[in-house]
Chain A
């Protein structure tokens, strides 16, 4: 059973370009979460999605960032007009159910390291 897949693993963009980060959840998981880890910081929650729905985007910057999880295909985190401050590791996690408890956990992907030149 394959784990959470993220691609690309490394992405280099120049300022002003767009970055598209992909996340394929584990088989059978319909809940996806995106986290960002800035240099020297812990992971911070960005957004929680279920198929075709954004459940909670309270951690997402208001501008330039968007996320989707279509009925078919991977979840996409899109960053428009990237700036140097967007350089970070972006982690995706998936779970079979939304609430974390003794029987449910979030499984993380390997992350995408975005570098903005």
Chain B
């Protein structure tokens, strides 16, 4: 079965620092990749997704992610974080075309210090 690994459980950054959250998946076939964010007390929201085309995907709120097939990775980046980015971030994958079962990583908590 496929799995998703998020390397960091908790990341603490100061405002304006750059962010990179790691995500690796364990499936060699066609995958589609997602990053979701959950702000405190709120529901999961989609930040960005990759299905095909340019492996550098731009999402909402200044986030981007790069799909590197050879490394089975889909790392999330933001050049300059803000206090409002404090949240939990989840990487997820679906395998194959026509699928609907999202497989999530364990999540990374990001705390941004003003």
Contact = CB atoms under 8 A, between A and B. Distances in A.
Contact of B42 (A95, A98, A99, A110): A110
A35 interface: yes
B99 A40 contact: no
B100 A48 contact: yes
A100 B4 contact: no
A56 interface: yes
Contacts of B42: 110
B43 A109 contact: yes
A33 interface: yes
Interface string A46-79: 0010000000100100000000000000000000
Contacts of A3: 43
Interface residues of B, number: 27
Contacts of A59: 101
B27 to A, nearest CB: 15
A43 B104 contact: yes
Interface in A81-107: 91, 93, 95, 98-102, 105-107
Contacts of A102: 49, 51-52
A27 interface: no
B106 A41 contact: yes
B101 A99 contact: no
Given A48-B100, A100-B94, A42 B4 contact: yes
A4 interface: yes
A98 B97 CA distance: 12
Interface string A14-53: 0000000000000000010101010011111100100000
Interface of B: 4, 6, 32, 36, 41-46, 49, 51-52, 90, 92, 94, 97-107
